[in-house]
Structures are given as structure tokens and as C-alpha cells.
Amino acid sequence: MDKIDLRSDTVTQPTPEMRVAMANADVGDDVYGEDPTVNQLQADAAAMFGKEAGLFVASGTMGNLTSVLAHCQRGDEMILSKDAHIFRYEVGSAAAYGGVQPNTLPIDRDGRMDIGHIRKAIRGNNVHYPITRLICLENTAGVSGAPLTKEYTDEVAALAHDHGLKLHIDGARIFNAAAALKIDVKDLTAGADSVSICLSKGLCAPVGSVIVGSKAFIQRAHHIRKSLGGGMRQAGILAAAGLIALHDMSQRLHEDHVNARALAEGLAALPYIDIDLDLARTNMVFFRVKPDAPLSAETLSDQLRDEFNIFITPYPGDPGLLRAVTHFWFKRQHVELVLNAIRALMATEYMAAD
């Protein structure tokens, strides 16, 4: 049976077109600024997001860390959600390498921090306080896959700028947000001072992210990237795949959303599955196994893998919750295979025969 891997969109292999482009890429030493393919990727990303400049980095984590370090000084504070990837899953790097203190706020199921909460979290002028320097949003929000709207983003940007703060968007899946909202990424992120974009998730590139922002921001980020060991040499081999990710793969993400929706609706019709269909808006499907089900979420995950070669894993930190992420290599015909497998495993006859 073919492997069906829904653990994340990071599992996406490069497309055949990417492999050809990588093999034939025009390259140079990027630390000297001489890799034409990297330079093109950076210029194209900046143009697509309506920013002055871009920088190719090794990963989303490096893109976020570089951005935070470029905006903040040691002892400064950044406001972000307690579920933000930057806070939860980046090894505390902003604190470790930048001395940047996170001030975390709760988010609602649409991935939004309350504007009033953000306003209150911005520090006043008091000798006891750290200096608030930065607000970080995440779009789509990893906690639910929900896209943050332009209206919300603009509102947070206005609040930030009124207080002399910067706004960074962790846009690991910003193209998924744009596809779901049917808006250009340039408009969606117009209020942001920096955006970090993953090329290696739903966009299928094997490696890399791009950050975009003002010329001054990117100049500072360039130094920081070098200090983090991110000055790569003939990186055009990677950027060649990144260009296809940016231009072509970013335009087909609605297909992943349609498949996610079909999967979510199919799951909702299965016994013992608890799912909030309102949340299936991009390429992420979160669902629970009901307490009275014949098997737990963990056992379901194990048996899907062992019996059907289907990979769907429990979401860390929330027992009973499973997450399936659709992507380029998950096709429409796979939806029924997954649903049939779960239906079979949930059937008590199957359990009795096991």
C-alpha cells in the first residue's frame, strides 16, 4: 500500500520540476552575494510581498529568529501568542541568543490574540519595565490552521505602529492563508514590517525560507544570518526549487484546502469522531476520538500506520487530539482510503477479529 503521510506538509518531497531546476541551477558564492538564483529568489519574494528586500534562510526557525534579533535588543520584550511556533517550538532561541523576553497572550480558536489584550500588554514608560519592541502574529495560526484576515492584521499593525513597535508575521503558511481568504499576499501582509515564509512546507521545496522587509531590516538580518551560520555558498541549488515553490506551488494550495475539507466532512460522518467543521479552513484537519470509542487516538494512530501505512499523529500537548495536514502529495483519491481505514479500525467487528 502506498504511504499516505498526513503528519505535516513538511513531509512533501520536491516535485520533478524542482529536481530538474536544482540540477540545472545557475549558482555562485552567495556569501559574496554572487549566486544569481538566490538573488532572484530574494528579489522575487520581496516583489511578491511588496517589500523592499528579501533574504534566503535555511529554515522557518532561522527566519523567525533572524527577524526577532533584527528588530529587538537584549532585554526587549515581544508580544506573541502562547501557542505561537516562535514561543513553543523554536527551542527558546530568541531568549537564548537574543535575550528577548516573550510576553505571551492567549488566542481564540481563530488564532487571534484579543486587540485589547495586546494593547494592555504594551509596556508603558516605567523604569521597572522592559521595552516592548515587537508583536508577532502567525498566519495561518498553527493551533487551528485558521487564516488571520487582512482586517485583523491591519488592526494589529496600526496598534504596533502607534506605539513605535514593529510587527513580524510568522508566515510559514502565509500562502495558505492568502488562498483561503482569496487575497494577494501583498495586501494581506501590507501592515507587517517583516514576514517569514516557509518554502519547504506546502510549497514542496526541500529546504528553506525567505524573510522580507525594508532594506535596513534585511541589511541587519543579513549580518545576523551570517552569525547564526546561515551564510551558505552555492545555495542557488536550493533557491532554484524555492523559485518554483514561490511562483507555482503557491498558486495551487486551494486544492489542498478542498481535500482537507473533504477529509473533514468525511470524518464528521464517521462514528466516534468529534470534529469542528468550522475550523477546517485551510490544509489542517484537527479531530478527536470520542472517549467511548473502541480505541484511543494514540492506538488509532498506531494502527493506521501499522495496518494501512497511513500516518496521522496525535498533536503534542493535547491528549486525544489528532492532526492531519493535506499537501501536494495527498490527492483526492486518498481521502476515501483514509476514511475507509478509520472506519474499519473503529468497527468493533474488526477489533473482535484482531
Ligand X SMILES: *Cc1c(COP(=O)(O)O)cnc(C)c1O
- Interface contacts to ligand X, rule CB under 6 A: 59-61, 64, 85, 138, 142, 170, 172, 198, 200, 209
Cβ at position 238, least distance to ligand X in Å = 13
Which residue, 169 or 338, is less far from ligand X as judged by CB?
169
Which residue, 122 or 228, is less far from ligand X as judged by CB?
228
Cβ at position 59, least distance to ligand X in Å = 4
Cβ at position 199, least distance to ligand X in Å = 9
CB-closest chain residue to ligand X:
60
Which residue, 88 or 161, is less far from ligand X as judged by CB?
88
Which residue, 138 or 193, is less far from ligand X as judged by CB?
138
Cβ at position 89, least distance to ligand X in Å = 7
Cα–Cα distance for residue pair 138/159, rounded to 1 Å: 16
Which residue, 209 or 282, is less far from ligand X as judged by CB?
209
Q: Are the C-beta atoms of residues 143 and 106 closer than 8 Å to each other? A: no
Cβ at position 61, least distance to ligand X in Å = 3
